[in-house]
Amino acid sequence: MSCRDNAADSPPDREAAVRTAHWRVAHAFDSALPGWLVILPLVHVTALDELPAEAHAELGGLLGSLSQALREVVGCAKTYIMQFSEAEGFHHLHVHLVPRMPDQPDHLRGPRIFGYLGASEADRVGEGERDRIAIALRAAVASSR
Ligand SMILES: [Zn+2]
């Protein structure tokens, strides 16, 4: 699915909040938590060390600038970063960058934050809200450069 999405000519804002030479930043489609981001390489790889050093450097910059942008846009206290790419159908490398909110419930802290992912249609952040967050993050990242 990530490869197919990469091929889209003009993806919606929620699928490409930020783009760099090596990466695309999407809002997770099935998250109940606003601002859950997924950073995807533009080429198909399944492990971080299959990418060139320039991609690693870009990723470091993105993690920093997007963390600051999430603080501004959704008001998080900090961010969590995770990379597994093991779920069936989701082996395309993807890095989760997730806002940790000031009032994050105890039972959804640390690795348990994944309780927000795989949400039912009714609980997911809607497309319009995902687009709005993506546009705001893009502006925040641009103003920090
Ligand atoms: Zn892929």
pLDDT higher than threshold 80 for residue 3? no
- pLDDT band for position 1 (cuts 50, 70, 90): low
Q: Averaged over 8-23, what is the pLDDT?
A: 92
Mean pLDDT of the chain: 95
Instruction: Write out pLDDT tens, residues 42-78.
Output: 999 999 999 999 999 999 999 999 999 999 999 999 9
Alpha carbon of 78 to ligand 1 centroid (Å): 29
- One-letter identity of residue 74: V
Alpha carbon of 3 to ligand 1 centroid (Å): 4
pLDDT higher than threshold 80 for residue 130? yes
pLDDT higher than threshold 90 for residue 123? yes
pLDDT higher than threshold 70 for residue 14? yes
- pLDDT band for position 5 (cuts 50, 70, 90): confident
Alpha carbon of 112 to ligand 1 centroid (Å): 26
Q: Averaged over 18-42, what is the pLDDT?
A: 97
Alpha carbon of 89 to ligand 1 centroid (Å): 9
- One-letter identity of residue 83: Q
Collect all residues with Cβ–Cβ distance below 8 Å to 58 and sequence separation of at least 6.
20, 21, 22, 23
**Ion ligand 1: residue ranges with CB closer than 5 A:** 2-3, 44, 92
Alpha carbon of 4 to ligand 1 centroid (Å): 8
Alpha carbon of 144 to ligand 1 centroid (Å): 30
| Residue labelled with tokens 């994944």 | 114
Alpha carbon of 37 to ligand 1 centroid (Å): 17
Alpha carbon 50 to its chain's center: 20
Q: Averaged over 94-121, what is the pLDDT?
A: 97
pLDDT higher than threshold 80 for residue 145? no
